[in-house]
Chain A
Amino acid sequence: MIKLVKVSKSFKGQKVLDNLDLIVEPEKINIIIGRSGSGKSVLLKHIIGLIRPDSGQIFVDGIDITKINEKTFNEMRKKFGMLFQEAALFDSMTVGENVAFPIKEHRHLSQKKVDEIVNEKLIQVGLTNVAHKMPSELSGGMKKRVGLARAIALDPEIILFDEPTTGLDPIMCSAINNLIVQTQEHTKATCIVISHDIESTFKIAHKVAMLYHGKIIEEGIPGEVKVSGNPVVRQFIEGRQIEQSPKQK
């Protein structure tokens, strides 16, 4: 269970999260939408403790992670897998070593078994014959998929995806969306996905939340959000320009 209560965060006076409340549906696919620069990545990094909030509480399985120390957090994070927006592959390691890294760190398996898992995960993200390559030799979309393979390598309980399909071709997009759905169904993981792809968001999400000016302004099952009365949400999902709302500071 993941719950954010009145979380605020500012960077040098710029308020990014403003008393934000959010309840994440456990063992479901939760998708967060919002405009570029609205703070989605910052929100995701709060959930895994890479950024600490200025105020507010964040509960993961009943524990307030804003109060625990780095060592306890280290244990806590073993439940998590995360795909970064820019993939964040280790550029001193090959693709295969990247995917193998979390497995070797936390499971005591034979090299053969590790290789098997790595291969399987790479095939799942549609990559073959790349295990020996260095990240610098890959395209942006390929890096992203390697990052995805690394994030799901340990079948974590909670998986955070920062824009898993941005920068992929339409065929790959739907393949990755299918992969997220399958992984979630298979492992019963809690998935939090940031997405700009409205159409597939409504197709695969169990819950959709929209972030706007530091708050969640709309949340619910896709059917509800789709017919939201909030003009900002309407404009966003219809792809029109959002006019500056009058209450904006």
Chain B
Amino acid sequence: MIRIFESAGRPFVAFVEEFGRILLLLISATAWLFRPPFRFRVVLKQMEFVGVKSITVVLITGAFTGMVLALQTYHGFRMFGGEGLVGSTLTLAITRELGPVFTALMVTGRAGSAMAAEIGTMKVTEQIDALYTMSVSPVQFLIMPRIVAGILMLPVLTVISDFIGIVGGYFVGVKLLNINSGIFMARIVEIVDLDDIFNGLIKSACFGLILALVGCYKGFYTTGGAEGVGKATTQSVVYASVAILISDYFLTSVMFR
């Protein structure tokens, strides 16, 4: 009987343990943020890596998300003559949900995985130990800059994604499906609040924190050579994606009531 509880409880205990370690890492990274030396250049470099280098993929996913939304909503709304609402509906969907979430998922695949791989490789080749021997905290030098970059750059990328998504939706709706351009825009202005956009951006900052933290955590606790690095990389993408979607639900339920 105890055996059953034991084996059922073990994954739960492991989860709690892992969650605790992630939290500790976050706390220590936050503490290092306020302790000199302030590593502006390293942070800038990470912001470039997370932000600038993700723009292409964010533009493509953002545009097509908007375009396909226009198509889908158009067919629905046409049944009761509500084509004019296509613009506002897709804008709400994009700014509240799809912009932040898709951007975060794409950046997780691109940058979060790279963080896990890079830090993991440094771990198994003793480069992290070498940092310790030189009295440099790896949490401050490697992890804090990545987390800061994630939190700062995800909202920026999301703004880009939101904008290009609406442009894509406009293109499909107005140019291809012949919705009246004036009505399309007027409904957007009428129905969409600045709050919708703003809340979406707060969400995306949270997602940025999650994907960077999980990527760094997985890398930092890598063991077992090249195979371990591979495992850490895949796990970081899976864990971060799941965590992003779960936290999205809770953030949404708090924000949009």
Of A74, A78, A89, which contacts B127 at CB under 8 A? A89
Of B37, B122, B133, B137, which contacts A50 at CB under 8 A? B133
- Assuming A86-B125, A88-B125, A92-B118, is B130 touching A78 (CB within 8 A)? no
Interface of A: prevailing SS = mixed
A82 within 8 A of B: yes
B189 within 8 A of A: no
Of A80, A90, A91, which contacts B133 at CB under 8 A? A80
A50→B132 contact, CB < 8 A: yes
B132→A78 contact, CB < 8 A: no
With A and B bound together, what is the CA distance between A82 and B134 in angstroms?
A: 8
B134→A101 contact, CB < 8 A: yes
Q: 8 Å CB contacts to A: which residues of B118-141? A: 118, 121-122, 125-127, 129-130, 132-137
A82 neighbours in B (Cβ, 8 Å): 130, 133
CB-nearest residue of chain A relative to B118? A92
A212 within 8 A of B: no
A75→B135 contact, CB < 8 A: yes
With A and B bound together, what is the CA distance between A48 and B130 in angstroms?
A: 11
A15 within 8 A of B: no
A105 within 8 A of B: yes
With A and B bound together, what is the CA distance between A106 and B36 in angstroms?
A: 12
Q: 8 Å CB contacts to A: which residues of B170-214? A: none
A77→B126 contact, CB < 8 A: no
B122 neighbours in A (Cβ, 8 Å): 90-91
A91→B135 contact, CB < 8 A: no
Q: 8 Å CB contacts to B: which residues of A96-140? A: 101-102, 105-106
A88→B130 contact, CB < 8 A: yes
B127→A91 contact, CB < 8 A: yes
A84 within 8 A of B: yes
How many whole Å from A219's CB to the nearest CB in chain B?
25
A206 within 8 A of B: no
A88 neighbours in B (Cβ, 8 Å): 125-127, 129-130
How many whole Å from A15's CB to the nearest CB in chain B?
20
With A and B bound together, what is the CA distance between A171 and B221 in angstroms?
A: 40
A77→B134 contact, CB < 8 A: yes
With A and B bound together, what is the CA distance between A78 and B167 in angstroms?
A: 56
CB-nearest residue of chain B relative to A153? B134
B125→A78 contact, CB < 8 A: no
Of B118, B129, B135, which contacts A45 at CB under 8 A? B129
How many whole Å from B103's CB to the nearest CB in chain A?
26
Of B118, B129, B135, which contacts A105 at CB under 8 A? B135
A81 neighbours in B (Cβ, 8 Å): 133
28 contacts between A and B (CB under 8 A): A45-B129, A48-B132, A49-B132, A50-B132, A74-B135, A77-B133, A77-B134, A77-B135, A78-B135, A81-B133, A82-B133, A84-B130, A86-B125, A86-B126, A88-B125, A88-B129, A89-B130, A90-B122, A90-B127, A90-B130, A91-B122, A91-B125, A91-B127, A101-B134, A102-B134, A105-B37, A105-B136, A106-B134
Nearest first, the 5 A-B pairs at minimum CB distance are A88-B126, A88-B130, A82-B133, A77-B135, A102-B134
- A residues apposed to B, CB below 8 Å: 45, 48-50, 74-75, 77-78, 80-82, 84, 86, 88-92, 101-102, 105-106
- B residues apposed to A, CB below 8 Å: 37, 118, 121-122, 125-127, 129-130, 132-137
Give me 20 other A-B pairs in contact (C-beta within 8 A), A84-B130, A105-B135 excluded.
Answer: A48-B132, A49-B132, A50-B133, A75-B135, A77-B132, A77-B133, A77-B135, A78-B135, A80-B133, A82-B130, A82-B133, A84-B126, A84-B129, A86-B125, A88-B126, A89-B130, A90-B130, A105-B37, A105-B134, A105-B136
